[in-house]
Amino acid sequence: MQIKKVIICMAILVGLAGADTRAFELMLPRVYDEGMAVSNWLMSEKLDGVRGYWDGRQLFSKNGTLFHAPPAFTRNFPDFAVEGEIWGGRNTFEKTAGIVRQQEAHDGWLALKFAVFDVPTAGGGFENRLRKAADWFDRHPSDHAFVIEHRPVESHAHVSQELKRIEALGGEGLILRRRGSLYTAGRSRDILKVKSYADMEAVVVAHLSGKGRNEGRMGSLVVELPGSRTRFKIGTGFSDATRENPPPVGTLITFKHYGFYQSGIPKFPSFLRVRDDF
């Protein structure tokens, strides 16, 4: 009898340990290419936030980690699954990530919005799926959720013009969605990201002290590309807070760049953020 009790308790503990994570098969974008036809596409701003998955009851990260959003944030969210970006506005990624990373509900969430961009379990093409979310929020208005507006793409010049406008406002880029496309897990040719730069990951291997206005704090990072021995410095793109508390050695970061030198070193690398998969 005692052994049975121990086994039951262990099973409960294991269940609780795994209760905060779930596995999702999400639709992921490819990179935009100007050689493709764009007459049958829609575009929207690519919001620089934290991807979220609302399953009809709870809010999770893209990797299935439970977010501890307060009831005031998720009030009037739908009783069906929707995907979106947890967003605090342009140039607020670090603040947003800090809010959602906390392990208990708090009022910091109330400064954020859930920007809905798909309804993964709904049938039909993209516009029909998104209309289901729009219809829900028309009937159940939310202070902390909205459906992202998508506009028809007219031409490559139209995409370029809109990209410049969004970047001038401090935005990250654009997302293109093919009209009528079905929801498919993994990298899809029906959803594309558009940026004026490329981004990739690197591992922090050292901190270099700053000079001038950065004296007494981090001036640049020495990083290494995963799977290679290519090392280089990143000295721009850091906020004052990041320079005061730089990502530790071993941290995976995301940086932007503008192509590669013949040596394989990225051109004009600039720090974007700590790679935070939650």
Task: Say if residue 20's pLDDT is above 80.
Answer: no
* Mean per-residue pLDDT, 114-134: 97
CA distance 102 to 248: 19
Pairing outcome for strands 231-234 and 218-224: antiparallel
Alpha helices in 18-111, H assignment, sequence order: 71-74, 93-101
Task: Say if residue 158's pLDDT is above 90.
Answer: yes
Total count of residues recorded for the chain: 278
Q: Which has the minimum average pLDDT: 12-16, 106-110, 117-121?
A: 12-16
And the tokens for 143?
A: 């202070």
And the tokens for 97?
A: 């990530």
> What was the pLDDT predicted at 34?
82
- Phi and psi angles of residue 100, each rounded to the nearest 5 degrees, phi first: -75, -20
pLDDT digits (tens, 9 = 90+) for 216-266: 999 999 999 998 889 999 999 999 999 999 999 999 999 999 889 888 999
Percent of the chain residues topping a pLDDT of 70: 91
Task: Say if residue 25's pLDDT is above 90.
Answer: no
CA distance 209 to 169: 32
CA distance 93 to 33: 26
- By C-alpha distance, which of 102, 54, 96, 47 is closest to 75? 54
Calculate ∠ Cα 222-237-252, nearest 5°.
45
Asked whether 159 and 172 are in contact (CB, 8 A), the reply is: no
- Name the DSSP letter for residue 176: E
Calculate ∠ Cα 239-244-250, nearest 5°.
90
Beta bridge partners, 271, equal 255
pLDDT digits (tens, 9 = 90+) for 127-154: 999 999 999 999 999 999 999 999 999 9
DSSP 128-163: HHHHHHHHHHHHS--TTEEEPP-EE---HHHHHHHH
CA distance 259 to 266: 6
Catalytic residue among 46, 95, 193, 267: 46
Q: Which DSSP helix (H) or strand (E) runs through 166?
A: helix 156-168
Pairing outcome for strands 113-118 and 145-147: parallel
Instruction: Tell me the whole-structure pTM to 2 decimals.
Output: 0.78
And the tokens for 27?
A: 């639709």
> What was the pLDDT predicted at 9?
35
**Residue 39 pLDDT grade (very low, low, confident, very high; cuts 50, 70, 90):** confident
* Mean per-residue pLDDT, 25-31: 90
**Active-site residue flag, 46:** yes
Chain centre to alpha carbon of residue 194: 14
